[in-house]
Amino acid sequence: MPLNQDSLPSRDIRDKLIIGLDLPSVAEARAVVDRIGEAGTFYKIGYQLAYAGGFELARALIAEGKKVFLDLKLHDIGNTVEEGVRSVARLGATLLTVHAYPQTMRAAVAGKAGSSLKILAVTVLTSYDDNDLIEAGYAPVSAAELVARRAAQAREIGVDGIVCAATEAERVRGIVGPDRLIVTPGIRPAGAEAGDQKRIVTPAEGIRLGADHLVVARPIVKAADPRAAAEAIVREIAGA
């Protein structure tokens, strides 16, 4: 049974769950947000929705007091990244991703200067495993080794946080220290299908491994009752 608003965990706890609006239209995303209600406080907008009007939805959600994570994974020449980040900062988003290449990270840090925007460096996508890295030409470096290398570079450059699989969160925490954010996608409640994710854990495991925020999309937005699905994950986070 859905929780009433008074019995929901605190806003700080609910903020740990970032709900991925991986949907093809603003209308569908808006309907999901409305169904979730106060159970959801933090939303991710990625490529699919961003290019279908999602930036206007981001503005609306921010105006309603929600937090927005723009998962754009920027990676371009330095000036382009810097100016793009500056535009996102003016939008009022809380988090923005860039790929964890040193030049890109330096440009992003410069672009967000003077704002409250936090930059997250994407180390190795959670849909990649060691075989994918071999195919991409990274051999003999493993996924875990590449995550560690990029996390160390992000720390030195001054990036606010890291996106990595929860299975790497404990190691990354040891590299970046206690003051930087760790955001973990690839979270699946017990019994949920893995989909295209290869390095996954449950919400409780993600928190215990040191993640600050968990990104969950399909298990919530595709659920018959998105609010109940979100509440169940929030309760699991609170218990962890």
Are the beta carbons of 14 and 39 closer than 8 angstroms?
yes
- The candidate with the shortest Cα–Cα distance to 24, out of 56, 2, 49, 42, is 49
User: Distance (Å, rounded) from C-alpha 215 to C-alpha 18?
Assistant: 5
CA distances from 174 to 141, 168, 210, 211, 214 (A): 20, 10, 10, 12, 19
User: Distance (Å, rounded) from C-alpha 27 to C-alpha 30?
Assistant: 5
User: Distance (Å, rounded) from C-alpha 133 to C-alpha 142?
Assistant: 7
Task: Decide if 73 is catalytic.
Answer: yes
Q: Which of 16, 67, 73, 112 is catalytic?
A: 73
User: Distance (Å, rounded) from C-alpha 11 to C-alpha 111?
Assistant: 29
Active site residues: 73
